[in-house]
Amino acid sequence: MGIFDKILGKEKDTEEPDLGQYLEIEAEGDVVNPPADFYVKRVDLRNEGDANLVMKELTSKNIIIVNVLPLTKQPNRLKGIIGKLKVSAEKMNGDIALLTNELILLTPSKVKIVKSKQKPAAEKL
């Protein structure tokens, strides 16, 4: 932002940083050598088959990040699938938490998520 922009009150366009450049993500994916005992995987939730894949991955002790964006236009279906995921995670002594409105985190047994409630706006002051 230049000095004239400050004087005239023009604001600089705020852009979200490309975190990929900081993490040096390769287009070909990760090469893990030797293989890890557990993985963190992302699954796009489009149907019940994807929910079954999530549960299969949880039984393999992997941590799953579920992208629910593809089903947001079908709220009743999304609610039902998330309900099934929640019940299944609890049965296997896993955990489930909302990361953002589009992302849900599921963990296998013996991995718990520390959850904290947001404070109301009046208490933040």
Cα distances (angstroms) measured from residue 114 to each of 95, 96, 97, 107:
10, 10, 9, 11
Strands 95-98 and 103-107: what pairing? antiparallel
Question: Would the pTM of this model clear 0.85, i.e. be above it?
Answer: no
How does pLDDT run across 69-110, given as a tens digit for each residue?
999 999 999 999 999 999 999 999 999 999 999 999 999 999
pLDDT band of residue 45 (cuts 50, 70, 90) is very high
CA dist 102 and 67 (Å) reads 6
Q: Is 36-112 in CATH node 3.30.590.10?
A: no
Domain ranges, ordered by start, for the chain: 36-112
